[in-house]
Amino acid sequence: MPTPDPGNAAEAAAAPSPTSDERPADATSLDTETGDGTAAPRAADEAHEPDRHVESGPTRTPGPAQMSFWLALPLLEHLTLIRPTNTLLMSVPGYRDALRGSGIRPFSDLTVLHIQLAGLEPAQLVVAGVHLRGEPALVEAATRVASMRELEPIWRGDGALRATSWIDGSGVDRGLAVHEAAFVIGARSSMPSLLGSSAPGARVPQLSRLRKNVVWRFVLEDAGHYLPAFGRCELQALSISVAAYAHSYRMSLNAEYTSATAAQQAATCLTQSGLQAAHLLTWLTGSGAAMDMDMRMGPGNCYQRNTEVARGDIEALFEELSRALRRSGRS
């Protein structure tokens, strides 16, 4: 195996680790146009628009099963949502192993955290974020992880992008890429698609970028892979975000169905589907007296809503998603 060019950190991150011969399957690449990893339709984070069905645009090619979420950790801590956030993180296959021994504690050390998972395989997990104490803390984390296996990390690259192996003991051949305070941990085989080739250093902070005041953002592609009820009702892609405003929090949701017919029948189908997520069901069907509704049925395969939410709504949704992920991981 050729030795990676010491000056090419992206190549070094993608090269196989000398401590492992395993080569995990490629992770689904992020959308390099949006810079936030979304494959599903983008929610209207800032518009206060009523619930509606919208006209279909050009047909979007459905992507493979992928889940992504972004967490603005200081804002979640302000909402006293540390416990449900940690529960959600621990329900993600591979997350616990990926950070084990690193000393990285999300609420103490990070300003933002991005989790991406293609399918449900731990080998496909990507963890990205921004560390409060910058690059030195990330170097220390890599050293701690390697020292648990009596190894030392070998760094390559320069100030724009530094990379090394991330030897977490999970059996997954992972790499770490760092640009200043931003980092990404992922399978080495996925690094070329994650970082690109034109400006891989600039891509690292883009992976964990959130719009201003967004507390949390969640995206599902091939949604039925994670919640079977969605597949039965032909819900193809789902995007949810919660943003903080002066005196309130607002949730924006965008659900894309396989057809306009499926979108029109979705409320009935989802209500009868056995979906074990009461808050999510309420938001998707427009039910519930407290949900400032303005339902207007029309053509199109997308359903959107924007509504005010409370802290308890966010906590309940985190708990529902945690349970759904645990069930999916066991199936």
Number of independent structural domains in the chain: 2
Residues 89 and 143 in one domain: yes
63 lies in some domain: no
Residues 273 and 323 in one domain: yes
Residues 105 and 228 in one domain: no
164 lies in some domain: yes
Residue 3 confidence (pLDDT) above 50: no
> Could you tell me how far CA 50 lies from the centroid of its own chain?
26
The pLDDT value recorded for residue 12 is 52
Residues 195 and 254 in one domain: no
**CB-hemisphere CA count at 13 Å for 123?**
12
The SS3 of residue 14 is helix
85 lies in some domain: yes
Answer with the one of 212, 242, 257 that is the final residue of a domain.
Answer: 212
183 lies in some domain: yes
Structural domain range at position 301: 222-330
Residues 173 and 84 in one domain: yes
Answer with the one of 179, 212, 245 that is the final residue of a domain.
Answer: 212
232 lies in some domain: yes
Instruction: Work out the number of other CB atoms within 10 angstroms of the CB of residue 128.
Output: 27
Residues 232 and 177 in one domain: no
Look at 298 and 69; give whichever has higher pLDDT: 69
Residues 184 and 254 in one domain: no
Q: Kindly report the average pLDDT of the chain as a whole number.
A: 82
Exposure pattern of 67-79 as b/e (b: 16+ CB <10 Å)? bbbbbbbebbeeb
Give me the percent of the chain exceeding a pLDDT of 90.
63
103 lies in some domain: yes
28 lies in some domain: no
Residue 331 confidence (pLDDT) above 70: no
Sequence-ordered list of residues with C-beta below 8 angstroms from that of 208, at least 6 positions apart, any chain: 70, 112, 113, 114, 128, 129, 130, 182, 184
The pLDDT value recorded for residue 287 is 66
Answer with the one of 161, 182, 212 that is the final residue of a domain.
Answer: 212
